[in-house]
Amino acid sequence: MPSHGSQTPILEARSITKRFPGVIANQDVSLSISPGQIVGLLGENGAGKSTLVKMIYGLYEPDEGEIYIKGSPVKLSGPRDAIRRGIGMVHQHFQLVPVFTVAENIILGDEPHRSIFINMKKATQEVARLSEQFGLEVDVNAKVEDLPVGAKQRVEILKALYRHADLLIMDEPTAVLTPQETDELLQVMRGFADNGVAVIFITHKLREVLAVADTIEVLRGGKVVGTTTPGETDQAGLAQMMVGRSVLLTVDKAPATPGDVVLDVQGLSAATDLGLPAVRDVNLQVRAGEIVGIAGVEGNGQRELVEALTGLRHCTADRMTVAGKNTLGQSPHAIHAMGVGHVPEDREKDGLVGPYSIADNMVLNRFDEPPFSSKGVRSRSAVNTLATDLVQEYDVRTPSISTTAESLSGGNKQKVVIARELSANPELLIASQPTRGVDVGSIEFIHSRIVDARDRGAAVLLVSAELDEVLGLADRVVVMYDGRLVAEMASADVDRSSIGRLMAGGDIQQ
């Protein structure tokens, strides 16, 4: 492991403070990173991680404090200024042009010229050299739209390295990767360190930061509350630092006792918005009192499957029933009335009406049912009573039930959706990415509520890109690849590496 003690830090943030109206996002935060060092940056949602790195990358200016690059104080005027000084950022959502080649994407905005023409030969050679030096295998002539997710991420990283980055900020880089791709990326990060490149690694995944970081900085409420190393702590210790209390990291649940079939799907197919095949002849059953988890890399038909099951997307099927009732061709509202709860993957778009109050969001799909409505007349007191009870029961942090949903943090928005869907006691709960972008304390709470629903006799279909979540919650695991369910196993029998290969399309009998 490289020694960092005697070198001038690539970057120092000294007593940085950043305020927004009504909130202090960062307060007196200091951070130092040397060549070849990997610093893990942890914290709950709203802890101040994104604000801090946006200041380092020139997107925000600190209100107080100073940033030093290679020993000199700087005022960064924007990302271009940060890039010029050797700071690169790999964003969580790829910033690539799909119809361009890998090489074209990497040099975009920084093209080598020969007289007035772009010197593509020189560019391609430089990209190939960087690819080999840092172990980032990618076809420089391939179109980005044809690449798998892991390769697109390598292109993003090469884009920063091509601009001579001495410091790489990596924001949730493993969010959409298979377990194998994640392990490869952690090795690549260690390769950066061996080549003298420094890395700031932002992640929610404690296992990963312990595997690769040299030091770990934990933010809570905008302040640094702890600095540690992987040798001095473990996942439980990090979680406690992040949340301020001990957190149960494994899902506490008794063995399932499955009952009758609730969801019965035979021969289900659906297309993407562009009319391309997305779900291909899926057969699936979920029983009362069990959680079936769908594991898979995003983009393999999971979203379209959930939308088909909940009436949001047209589909064809030989059979699609919930507790014996036909749901094929029914509206989302009618399917809800048949006893189906739905936690959508995009809570902003499909789960909440932002300008509505928390109280109104709690009854979005039941506003016309008793006791919330009688003969077309709404009962505001019944709505408010339910909302008050659910805000307390589900620990929604809000000043009032009349607060708008859009003003809540991500974790609290998710709790409103979970509370609404589970309070209707559904026979079938379809939960898609139920803890996406949610901090470790809220994850623990949401998981416990999903298990409670199972134990009350609900059938639960869990769709998650987080393999740890699927393995922790599900009683039975099915793997989805290229629109098909390609394998099924009891969660107790799952091996991480073999399921990772299946998620990437390996080991599948065609």
> Are the C-beta atoms of residues 205 and 92 closer than 8 Å to each other?
no
Residue 5: per-residue pLDDT: 47
What is the C-alpha to C-alpha distance for residues 443 and 426, in angstroms, rounded to an integer? Answer: 21
Q: Which of 392, 40, 455 is nearest to 213 (CA)?
A: 40
H/E segment holding residue 421: helix 410-423
Q: Which two three-digit tokens encode residue 172?
A: 């949730």
Per-residue pLDDT of the chain (510 residues; tens, 9 = 90+): 444 545 789 999 999 999 988 788 999 999 999 999 999 999 877 788 889 999 999 999 999 999 999 999 999 999 889 999 999 998 766 778 888 888 888 888 766 555 566 777 877 888 888 888 887 888 888 888 888 777 888 888 888 888 888 999 998 887 767 777 788 889 989 988 998 999 999 987 888 999 999 999 999 989 999 999 999 999 999 999 988 888 777 788 999 999 999 999 999 999 998 899 999 999 999 999 999 999 998 889 999 999 999 999 999 999 999 999 999 999 999 999 999 999 998 888 889 999 999 999 999 888 888 888 888 788 888 999 999 999 999 888 888 999 999 888 777 899 999 999 999 999 999 999 998 767 787 888 899 999 999 999 999 999 998 888 999 999 999 999 999 999 999 988 888 888 888 988 877 654
Q: At what angle do helices 179-194 and 149-162 cross, to 10 degrees?
A: 20
Between the CA atoms of 494, 498, 503 and 504, what dihedral angle is there, to the nearest 10 degrees? Answer: 170
Superfamily of domain 248-339+429-439+459-505 in the CATH hierarchy: P-loop containing nucleotide triphosphate hydrolases (3.40.50.300)
Count the neighbouring beta carbons within 10 Å of the beta carbon of residue 436: 18
Dump strand ranges (E) for 307-427: 319-322, 325-326, 340-343, 373-374, 377-378
Type of residue found at 356? Y
Place of tokens 């640094």: 224
**Residue burial 316-347, b: 16+ Cβ < 10 Å; e: rest:** ebeebbbbeeebbebeeeebbbbbbbbbbbeb
Q: Which two three-digit tokens encode residue 391?
A: 């805000």
Q: Which of 441, 498, 446 is nearest to 467 (CA)?
A: 498
Pick the CATH number of 11-243 from 3.30.1370.60, 3.30.70.20, 1.10.10.60, 3.40.50.300: 3.40.50.300
Q: Which of 63, 94, 58, 64 is nearest to 78 (CA)?
A: 58
For 218, counting Cβ atoms within 10 Å of its Cβ (0-12 exposed, 13-18 middle, 19+ buried), the class is: buried
Count the neighbouring beta carbons within 10 Å of the beta carbon of residue 349: 9
Residue 114: per-residue pLDDT: 56
CATH 3.40.50.300 location in the chain = 11-243, 248-339+429-439+459-505
Q: Which residues pair with 263 in a beta bridge?
A: 286, 322
What is the C-alpha to C-alpha distance for residues 177 and 510, in angstroms, rounded to an integer? Answer: 23
Type of residue found at 36? G
Rg (CA), the chain: 24
> Are the C-beta atoms of residues 96 and 145 closer than 8 Å to each other?
no
H/E segment holding residue 181: helix 179-194
**Which residues lie below 8 Å from residue 37, measured CB to CB, with a gap of 6+?**
2, 4, 193, 198, 199, 214, 215
Cis peptide leading into residue 21 (ω within 30°) = no
Q: Which two three-digit tokens encode residue 186?
A: 């952690």
What is the C-alpha to C-alpha distance for residues 372 and 191, in angstroms, rounded to an integer? Answer: 59
How many residues appear in the chain? 510
H/E segment holding residue 162: helix 149-162
